[in-house]
Structure 1
């Protein structure tokens, strides 16, 4: 268990953070710029000292003001990947990687150079220098160097913020592999929702130095009261599904979850693989009974559990579908005419074309192992 509870005065800014997360997987600190996310991981790394509280991972305490424990930075065994790669420009990729390895006594090395090179696809880059690498390649080398320092915990501060869409798409699968194949907990700072949805096991929403919400990505994204904090105007719930089958003749895939099935453009994952989707509120249409003679194929039975204002003329509705949640945005007039209120049974219609195959990320490691 990752257990963080700290208070810290940073000039006029007050940090008051408390959350726990499973030790395995990716804990994403998400929120607007200036909300305090980087300050949290700097405290975890030992780069700054909180005024009070504690920081623990598993059975190890890094900081505890009451017990007067404050482990030195170099003894915390925390890997840190920054927004910019910070590679040594005069060294080859191999030398940059080996720098991380040399910092740890041979007897304590459990992660070897070869597997990291394979995991991150660095074999063809070993003899090159950083100036000849793309932004995505530099970040993969930075990840490798951090891993070879044999960390108990890996911190990543906006590692894709400086990359364009193409380079970001290049590095995301490697971070997924790192999450799924390496038994190292990761804390990821991001203000990009697509990164969090694709990578995170636990989501910690931070606003103005405080934790506003934390839990699974689906649970946090399924709340109607958080858009003002996140700055997310394009509200949408998140579902974890499994590829049930592919319909090759129509280039479609059928995805199953506890609330039913969805048909989407074909995903490049095998049958049985996990898929995580964000379904935008604008792409969910509500009816009181299943429609006939329509092109829509994705119909899910659900029940309204909550309604919240979303604009001058619209409301958002939280719909329970099985154990999962959808969010639908409708006009006030439609909500009134359909008598939509908590407890009302509805049919949610979801456009198959609303799903973007390139943004379909695998679920977290714990889903893969089920």
Structure 2
């Protein structure tokens, strides 16, 4: 596993970024935090597009310190931006061929077109592509440069839900097959849950956490950002299909049923459970349409706004977050150690 060492300081227009961390890099590592936290600034410094004060090193190679600076094109880094920066005077195949020639692997363009489902788009001008198609071209071009590290700066932020769903499998394939580490900037917990095994969290230019995704997404102040998707990440195992077409999943806190078809029995999935999809009852409720009712214990209660509270529950070894009104918390008498039941209305699933 390669290590990215950062000891940097950057001040710009009243914003201060101060990072002193050593980050193990493999698979997808998410840079996560609200807008203005410094995620994109940090990515630009790593890429070499912006200079900070201090040191940036990748493995045993120093890219920037007080004595010298390695320019972006010599770092072996490919960057995928929110809006694809394709050459408008070249067609899709031309964009890929240019990247391949620079990397000395011009014979691989046809294979890359097929790999990213671009075979029928080779002669198209980039300006005529949909957002999802253009982003697939950008991903293919990034891989053709034979990078040591891929940087992605909110690559799904400009896409609607359907286009995001279209791109996810290609990023997952890149993660699983290319064996190139990816640093992925996002403020979406759902994207982190689906793609990243590790995450670094930022707030106001400072690191607030670094570690496994499952652990950090269970921390209250990580998931309650302006994305509107506070929630929790749970790792589960596919048990199999029920007689009425549901998929049964097992985790340390019990069993979860979902209408989604996920994979073969024994395979592992990660469940992102939105806080707004978790209800709490002191006693096990009867006569509900909800399929998933799990015994739980209140772990923490924290204010989440003038009228809201985040209740973190312990279900086995897993943590589930529920977003309730403060009135409901008081009415139920919820405090640390209170026994209760979590009613999970729905889950978002992403196979590891």
User: What secondary structure sits across from 2:341 in the alignment?
Assistant: strand
For each residue in 1:196-235, what CA deviation from the matched residue of structure 2 results, as whole angstroms up to 9, or x when unmatched?
A: 222222222222222223323322221223466x224443
The answer to whether structure 1 residue 86 and structure 2 residue 81 are counterparts is no
Query: 1:248-259 to 2 correspondence within 5 Å?
Result: 249-259=243-253
Pairing partner for 1:242 from 230, 237, 241:
237
In 1, Cα distance between the equivalents of 2:287 and 2:81?
53
- Counterpart position of 2:309: 315
Task: Decide whether aligned partners of structure 1 residues 143 and 337 sit closer, same or farther in structure 2, where only a CA change above 3 A counts.
Answer: closer
Task: Decide whether aligned partners of structure 1 residues 263 and 207 sit closer, same or farther in structure 2, where only a CA change above 3 A counts.
Answer: same
- Counterpart position of 2:183: 187
The answer to whether structure 1 residue 207 and structure 2 residue 203 are counterparts is yes
- Counterpart position of 2:294: 300
TM-score (structure 1 length as normaliser): 0.84
- Counterpart position of 2:56: 55
In 2, Cα distance between the equivalents of 1:133 and 1:293?
50
For each residue in 1:311-336, what CA deviation from the matched residue of structure 2 results, as whole angstroms up to 9, or x when unmatched?
A: 44443221122222111234445544
Q: Are the equivalent residues in 2 in contact too, given 1:78–1:152 (CA < 8 A)? A: yes
Displacement after TM superposition at 1:308 (Å): 1.0
Task: Decide whether aligned partners of structure 1 residues 241 and 118 sit closer, same or farther in structure 2, where only a CA change above 3 A counts.
Answer: farther
User: What secondary structure sits across from 1:361 in the alignment?
Assistant: strand
TM-score (structure 2 length as normaliser): 0.88
More displaced stretch, 156-165 vs 179-188: 156-165
User: What secondary structure sits across from 1:162 in the alignment?
Assistant: coil
Q: Are the equivalent residues in 2 in contact too, given 1:243–1:254 (CA < 8 A)? A: yes
The answer to whether structure 1 residue 329 and structure 2 residue 323 are counterparts is yes
Displacement after TM superposition at 1:153 (Å): 0.3
In structure 2, the gaps of 5 or more residues are none
More displaced stretch, 5-14 vs 278-287: 278-287
Displacement after TM superposition at 1:294 (Å): 4.3
Alignment coverage as a number of residue pairs: 350
User: What secondary structure sits across from 2:265 in the alignment?
Assistant: coil
- Counterpart position of 1:272: 266
Displacement after TM superposition at 1:77 (Å): 0.5
User: What secondary structure sits across from 1:90 in the alignment?
Assistant: coil
Displacement after TM superposition at 1:262 (Å): 0.5
The answer to whether structure 1 residue 158 and structure 2 residue 147 are counterparts is no
Query: 1:1-370 to 2 correspondence within 5 Å?
Result: 1-52=3-54, 54-65=55-66, 68-105=67-104, 112-226=108-222, 230-247=225-242, 249-332=243-326, 334-336=328-330, 338-351=332-345, 354-355=346-347, 359-363=348-352
In 2, Cα distance between the equivalents of 1:177 and 1:14?
36
Q: Are the equivalent residues in 2 in contact too, given 1:9–1:51 (CA < 8 A)? A: no
Displacement after TM superposition at 1:183 (Å): 0.4
User: What secondary structure sits across from 1:74 in the alignment?
Assistant: helix
Q: Are the equivalent residues in 2 in contact too, given 1:201–1:217 (CA < 8 A)? A: yes
For each residue in 1:333-360, what CA deviation from the matched residue of structure 2 results, as whole angstroms up to 9, or x when unmatched?
A: 5544554332333332222xx23xxx52
More displaced stretch, 93-102 vs 292-301: 292-301
Task: Decide whether aligned partners of structure 1 residues 133 and 315 sit closer, same or farther in structure 2, where only a CA change above 3 A counts.
Answer: closer
Q: Are the equivalent residues in 1 in contact too, given 2:189–2:230 (CA < 8 A)? A: no
In structure 1, the gaps of 5 or more residues are 364-370
In 2, Cα distance between the equivalents of 1:283 and 1:165?
19
Displacement after TM superposition at 1:160 (Å): 2.1
Displacement after TM superposition at 1:115 (Å): 4.3
